[in-house]
Structure 1
């Protein structure tokens, strides 16, 4: 079946002029899994890379019912009123299973979706979390090249995608309800440790006083969960996305964070570390794909999988057998001798799968 034809040079030229349709077409290209499209996508990324990197990249996550969509729409509207252009991307690993999309119809952010200074893109509905995250990183670069100076990467609920998002953004924002410290019990400690800013939403109506109390509760609870860094102690703010109150303070705090981190050199260092980890993630993804497609591996895989499933072969032994076939070796004994650490990952940078928790 023949898919759409892409001209990377034409897409790049239109995209760099701020054409949103070209941006959408470019993202469709980088999301494609066809080998020929991958080559064209890499050409497009090479062409626009020098024009990317000028935005502030924000990751936004929140507990169910926190009003994340309303917050992003209110926040995005505030930024656009200041003359900025806002792109919203999503990382939704569940879409890979359901073939659905949390932003598919864009009705959750109807006003923002209609604004010519905004661009909303649903999560790619195919692949693993790693694949979805990779395509989101590339989409982020395209959005920056198209002139969007604020790129928001949204996660679904509070689950497995937060670490992947934190590994691609400058600042990670966690939205919470006015429930006080008890609310944190339902959130994994590792996710709280990722937050550079905590926002208590729904500070309006009957919940306004509760939200004020919650700010203090969360501050005390977070002091026990995580230690602040020498550069930045995550503030806890309150807002009402529905009424628009507190949104300006949040944006001002984000600006302060950026200035603080840039002055210390930590902003660029974080991006450099993310780029390095991204490169190694690409190496790992490419190797796994090549291994799965190798004739010797494909021939042996059914029998090895069956042996693992019926309990007659340890998974580690089956894995080493497959890697040996991929490398054209009878066994992996020589490789094991070379890697005395035994994990095969010696010297690799921290990634979403092997990183240690962030201290601050």
Structure 2
């Protein structure tokens, strides 16, 4: 990373996730579009991902790479099934020195596990590889794997299909975000929510009745302007 930031061929933008689920910041999607428009051929999105809620990145990338560390307690049992099912490749890093045996063992475990996963729509079998960033070994194979996937996905049109599905996902997500922001920032709604929350806590209303109450209040009394 220290060498990469010095290159005029690379652009690195920290993007804190904050409270946003999905392991990526809210504006990451827009940053990707900007970088594509600027002519960058490869865009890498690194997430804070630790669980099934940390998967929004899957809806904005072409290739989902799950990076694991050998010998760091990062074993199969600690991985959520959902994130493994989305992975197009699983890479075991730090396969060097005394860690080589652990890396080989981890690779076998993950290879056995992916065989039990349902086949993806694009028909690409999830590959499990090892590499060492320290020794710069296995990196070429990882790049080749990504290139092979792109060729496969382009030939069977799943690349375009996935991009189209992502466009529709973000179309609806943007609408949802705008409506939620407008809704929760309205003074009338804030006041009504405070009353209903107390009624829920005091058991005067169930959460479902209270939710119906706020919906009825909004549709009856407010004109929502986006």
- Which of residues 119, 122, 125 in structure 2 aligns to 1:228? 119
Distance 1:296 1:181, change over 3 A: closer
Which consecutive residues of structure 2, in runs of 5 or more, have no partner in the other structure? none
Give me the whole-angstrom Cα distance separating, in 2, the residues matched to 1:247 and 1:266: 25
Tell me which stretches of 4 or more aligned residues in structure 1 moved more than 4 Å. 130-133, 179-182
What is the Cα deviation at residue 191 of structure 1? 0.9
C-alpha RMSD of matched pairs (Å): 2.5
The residue that corresponds to 2:190 in the other structure is: 298
Indicate the larger mover: 154-163 or 142-151: 154-163
The residue that corresponds to 1:197 in the other structure is: 89
In the TM superposition, what whole-angstrom CA distance separates every residue of 1:334-354 from its partner, at most 9, and x where no partner exists?
xxxxxxxxxxxxxxxxxxxxx
Report if the CA contact (8 A) 1:180-1:213 is conserved. Answer: no
Distance 1:166 1:327, change over 3 A: same
Give me the whole-angstrom Cα distance separating, in 1, the residues matched to 2:17 and 2:105: 40
- Which of residues 131, 146, 149 in structure 1 aligns to 2:41? 149
Report if the CA contact (8 A) 2:24-2:57 is conserved. Answer: no
Aligned runs of 1:234-313 on 2, under 5 Å?
234-313=126-205
Distance 1:125 1:155, change over 3 A: closer
- Which of residues 10, 19, 22 in structure 2 aligns to 1:118? 10
Give me the whole-angstrom Cα distance separating, in 2, the residues matched to 1:300 and 1:294: 10
Distance 1:131 1:166, change over 3 A: closer
Report if the CA contact (8 A) 1:180-1:214 is conserved. Answer: no
Question: Looking at both structures, which has the greater relative contact order when contacts are Cα pairs under 8 Å and sequence separation is at least 6?
Answer: 1
Which consecutive residues of structure 1, in runs of 5 or more, have no partner in the other structure? 1-108, 331-360
Distance 1:194 1:222, change over 3 A: same
In the TM superposition, what whole-angstrom CA distance separates every residue of 1:237-274 from its partner, at most 9, and x where no partner exists?
11001111111110011000001011001001001001
The residue that corresponds to 1:162 in the other structure is: 54
Report if the CA contact (8 A) 1:294-1:326 is conserved. Answer: no
Distance 1:129 1:227, change over 3 A: closer
Q: What TM-score, normalized by structure 1, do the two folds share?
A: 0.56
In the TM superposition, what whole-angstrom CA distance separates every residue of 1:177-227 from its partner, at most 9, and x where no partner exists?
335998111011111111100111111111123323332222112223x13
- Which of residues 88, 104, 109 in structure 2 aligns to 1:212? 104
Report if the CA contact (8 A) 1:181-1:217 is conserved. Answer: no
Residue 77 of structure 2: SS of its match in structure 1? helix
1:315 to 2:214 alignment: no
